[in-house]
Structure 1
Amino acid sequence: MRLSNRNKAGFYNFLNTFFLMLFVCGIAAFLLERYKFDIFGWESYIFLIVPTLLLVSYYLRGRQIFEYDSDGEALNFKNRNIITFLNRPVSDEFPKYKLQKYEVVNAGILKRLYITVSSKKNHSIILKYDISYLTDKELRDLKYSLDKVIKENKENLHLCRKI
């Protein structure tokens, strides 16, 4: 199964530009209000606080683009940001049989996917992905696909133990 929200990159780019413009306009409005007009008084700080909160919450949600591919014998995860210099993209590919478990953490506006993968020497590695920008349907499809892979892994492990 393939899952990608790459087609929404234009919308996320628009949101990024909008929040940056809102922040710059908020600073300009604050400076004009504070030093030129002085109508609102201390309420003029709202011109700074609201755009700053919107911009920070947009960036704290994490990387916007998430791609998942479970076709074939490997699982492929890619997670990247629209603005490439903010943080580096995450790209992982590993065989399906190494997937042990996954967990989706939903903390209000922030959603994270934690994948536990077995490694050499019987250690576990936890991989982290930002999935805040996935729709509910995309999230359900992702969970269904990962559950299916884990179920197959358990069945294969059970069959190997019988032999």
Structure 2
Amino acid sequence: MRLNNRNKAVYYNFIVSVVAMLLFCGIVAFLMEKYIYNLLGWESGLFLIIPILFAAVFYFRGRQIFEYDSDGEALNFKNRNVVSFLDKALNDEFPKYKLISYEIVDAIILKRLYITISSKRNNSVILKYDISYLNKKELNDLKISLSKVVKNNREQKRENIS
């Protein structure tokens, strides 16, 4: 199964542009209010606080573009920002049999996917991906696909033991 939200990259670029413009306009308005007009007093700080909150929420929600591919014998996860200088892109590919479990954490602002895989050196490794920008259908498809892989791995493990 393949899942991606690359087609929404234009939308996310627009949001980044709007947030950057709000931040810039907020700084200009704050400086003009503070040094030229001086009408509002302490309320002029809202010109900075509100755009900074928008920018912080957008940043802390994580990487916008998520790609998942479970076709074949490997699982492929890609997670990146539309603005490349914000964060390093993640790209992981590993065989399906290494997947032990997964967990989706749904907080108020963000959603994270935690993948536990087996490794040779350690017993397990946890990989983290930002899935805040997936819609409900994409999220359900991801859960179904990962559940199938985990279920198949458990059945294979039982067959190998007996």
What TM-score do the two structures reach when normalised by structure 1?
0.96
Q: Distance in 1 between matches of 2:30 and 2:85?
A: 29
Q: Deviations over 1:83-126 (max 9, x none)?
A: 11221110000110100000111111111111000011561011
| One-letter amino acid matched to 2:90 | V
Q: CA RMSD for the aligned pairs?
A: 1.0
Residues 69-84 of structure 1 aligned to structure 2 (within 5 Å): 69-84=69-84
Q: Distance in 2 between matches of 1:124 and 1:41?
A: 56
- Secondary structure of 2:71's match? coil
- Give 5+ residue unaligned stretches, structure 1: none
Percent identity (aligned): 62
Shift of 1:31: 1.2
Q: Which runs of 4+ in 1 moved over 3 A?
A: none
Aligned residue number for residue 104 of structure 2: 104
Aligned residue number for residue 93 of structure 1: 93
Moved more, 83-92 or 94-103: 83-92
| One-letter amino acid matched to 1:21 | M
For these two proteins, the number of residue pairs brought into alignment is 162
Shift of 1:36: 1.7
Residues 1-163 of structure 1 aligned to structure 2 (within 5 Å): 1-121=1-121, 123-162=123-162
Q: Distance in 1 between matches of 2:42 and 2:117?
A: 53
| One-letter amino acid matched to 1:47 | F
Q: Distance in 2 between matches of 1:157 and 1:52?
A: 50
